[in-house]
Amino acid sequence: MFKTTRFRWSLATNISVFQDELTHCYEALTTDSAGKCSSTDDLLSSLKNKFSWQSTYTSPNDNRWVLEDHFYVYSIADEASGVSIDIFNVDSGDADSHGATETCCQCYGYAGDDDDKCANVARGDDACCGGDGDMYDQCMAQFTAWSDDSRKQLEANIANSTATWKVINSHYSPYAHYAESGMDKWFNIINGTGVHLWLNGHTHGENHDYSASLGVHFVDNGAGGGIQKESASGIPTYAKNYIENLWVYDGQEYGFFSLTASKDWLKLQYHTTDDKWSYAESFNSTTVGGVATKHCWYVPNDGTEGKECASSS
């Protein structure tokens, strides 16, 4: 039996977590309520401040929070087995679905008591930067610059990577959360580079897709708990020539993926609660059960589809 290197993490929060919540201007960030932006500079500095505050945060749980920059490589190596993993953390905040558009409108600071209008707000609306198109445009340009830089650094770092496994960690899916033009930007970078796996969150669901033409597996891993659970991301029409679904969860539970690495395979597993759990309003009244593993897949190092495997704890 080959020796493995094992690691796990949840993608409910990651590199672009600060973009998943509306980033209100400084006055609001220091109070309990959303506020309007006094100027474009105020909005841009507040975006940068929120990222800085999160990147310098120290977790009380073994200091496990890592957010070095908008792009960074986190490397894992096991000398005994010779297995190494490069995790390329990218800023995908320019995503078309729930990305920069929602953040840059700052709708909750302008909508007053009518939050419902924030579900369909757009540039030029009174609830979008107070109708200030230039403020909105400069905010969008900042997100685009961060993502463009991530794509540039990703391309260079993948080319220089000698790791056994190459994994991309993103807040958004390159196809489920992007329009076709944005998808193409990411696909053009990773095509033929030996990237094995793309991990993302944002959607609070779990699935496993594969692209034979790219040789890359894609995992939606966003139902880690603490917020609503929902159906996993689907495959848009324009992506169906590239992507096929291998597995999807039922949308009625919390769970997470784990990875176990050897030189030849990544063992990809989805874990959730078993039927021995009984939930109540308080944790003290909840009956704690065990772990059920509902999906297990061997991802091969050569970029092919792989096969199902027997689950393990």
pTM of the model: 0.88
pLDDT value at residue 281? 87
Nearest to 196 by CA among 183, 215, 209: 215
Please list the pLDDT of the chain residue by residue as tens digits (313 residues): 333 444 444 333 333 333 333 445 544 443 445 678 889 999 999 999 999 999 999 999 999 999 999 999 999 999 999 999 999 999 999 999 888 988 999 999 998 888 888 988 999 999 999 999 999 999 999 999 999 999 999 999 999 999 999 999 999 999 999 999 999 999 999 999 999 999 999 988 899 999 999 999 999 998 887 777 788 889 999 999 999 999 999 878 889 999 999 999 999 999 999 999 998 889 899 999 999 999 999 999 999 999 999 876 5
pLDDT value at residue 10? 37
Residue by residue, what is the 3-state secondary structure of the chain? Answer: CCCCEEEECCCCCCCCHHHCCCCCCHHHHCCCCCCCCCCHHHHHHHHHHHHHHHHCCCCCCCCCCCCCCCCEEEEEEECCCCEEEEEEECCCCCCCCCCHHHHHHCHHHHCCCCHHHHHHCCCCCCCCHHHCHHHHHHHHHHHHHHHHHHHHHHHHHHHHCCCCEEEEEECCCCCCCCCHHHHHHHHHHHCCCCCCEEEECCCCCEEEEEECCCCEEEEEECCCCCCCCCCCCCCCHHHCCCCEEEEECCCCCCEEEEEEECCCEEEEEEEEECCCCECCCCHHHCECCCEEEEEEEEEECCCCCCEECCCCC
Full strand arrangement of the beta sheet holding 265-273: 5-8, 255-261, 265-273, 291-300, 307-308
pLDDT value at residue 115? 85
Q: How many residues does the chain have?
A: 313
pLDDT value at residue 3? 38
User: Which position has the token pair 């310098």?
Assistant: 56
- Ordered domains of the chain (ranges, CATH): 5-308 (3.60.21)
pLDDT value at residue 25? 58
Q: How far apart are CA 172 and CA 14, in angstroms?
A: 10
